[in-house]
Amino acid sequence: METAYIKRTRNGKINIKAGNKITSVMNWTILGLTVCTIIAFLLFDYTGLNWSTAISETLYNLKTMFLEPQLNHFSWGEAFYQIGVTLGLAVLSTVIGGVIAFFLALMSALNLSKAWLSKTIRVIMAFIRAVPTVLWVLIFAIAAGLGSEAAILGMLFHSIAYLTKAFSESFEEVDKGILEALRATGASWWQVVKSGVLPTTFTYLLSWTFLRFEINFGVAVAMGAAAGAGGIGFELFMASGFYFDLREVGFITYTILVVALVLEIISTQMKKRYFPVTAEK
């Protein structure tokens, strides 16, 4: 439902317009993005491009990939093993990152820490989040070499920054009355965290952690190819860039989609268990 907003002009007249400023900003943003997209397509170099040939070959490649998936260069057992490697990379980076982020979040939450410490940690975490995960992996690859170590360290850095922000915002949502009541009884800082903060925010912490795990699984697939970390991502890179086997690319793509679907089902079940009210809505 649109609302009206009133704007007074310089000559004293009042203009009443339908809608609101938020709707206006959204409309102009969408219009700007549309114009930029059209300009980008117009600036592409289409030299030597045969549209009919390109479209027919693209359709043939998609048909081969998704309608004729097949394993040719490794077995089913190795496929499951590589999926396990990718999941292992995601689990390690998420679990270790979650533990470190939990303590950093306690120090960066405004209602649990000093202002100067909170601001310092927030600035550092913002800087880490601003750097893409791939770049962090390449930075660590200089010291550790390409492989699973560099991939885990790069994913770990970004996971810590992401979860620190998410956890600290959850901590700041805790009712001030609970914290003041605990402090009035003489509870120490850790007792306030254990008895007042954790019980209130546990389900949110669990939800954020699992969300980051889903993100890390997708990143681990990419890092398998970009950083030589192994896993199903490396097999996808070999099938597409080395063997040029579209059927195997299709099979690996389906495998990744199935794993992602299973993770989404698990996430949905967790929401129903820990957020029954939200799930019913």
List of residues 6+ apart from 104 with CB closer than 8 A: 121, 125, 160, 164, 168
Calpha distance 211→24 (Å, rounded): 32
Amino acid (one-letter) located at 59 = L
Residue by residue, DSSP assigns 173-242 as TS-HHHHHHHHHTT--HHHHIIIIIHHHHHHHHHHHHHHHHHHHHHHHHHHHHHS---SHHHHHHIIIII
Tokens found for residue 51: 């549209």
In this prediction, residue 280 carries a pLDDT of: 42
In this prediction, residue 17 carries a pLDDT of: 56
Tokens found for residue 249: 């690319």
Q: Render pLDDT for 103-151 as a digit per residue (tens, 0 to 9).
A: 999 999 888 888 899 999 999 999 999 988 888 888 888 877 777 888 8
Instruction: Sort residue 115 into left (φ over 0), alpha (ψ -120 to 50) or beta.
Output: alpha
Of 221, 194, 231, which Cα lies nearest the Cα of 78? Answer: 231
CA torsion, ordered 172, 177, 183, 189, to nearest 10 deg: -20
Tokens found for residue 66: 């998704």
Is residue 125 a contact partner of residue 164, using CB atoms and an 8 Å limit? yes
Q: What is the pTM of this model?
A: 0.77
Q: Render pLDDT for 58-92 as a digit per residue (tens, 0 to 9).
A: 899 889 888 888 888 878 888 889 899 999 999 99
CATH superfamily, domain 76-280, is: MetI-like (1.10.3720.10)
Cα 244 to its chain centre, rounded Å, is 30
Task: Enumerate residue ranges in the chain where pLDDT < 50.
Answer: 1-2, 277-281
Tokens found for residue 104: 């950093």
Q: Kindly state the percentage of the chain with pLDDT values over 70.
A: 90
DSSP type of residue 112 = T
Residue by residue, DSSP assigns 52-65 as HHHHHHHHHHHHHH
In this prediction, residue 94 carries a pLDDT of: 94
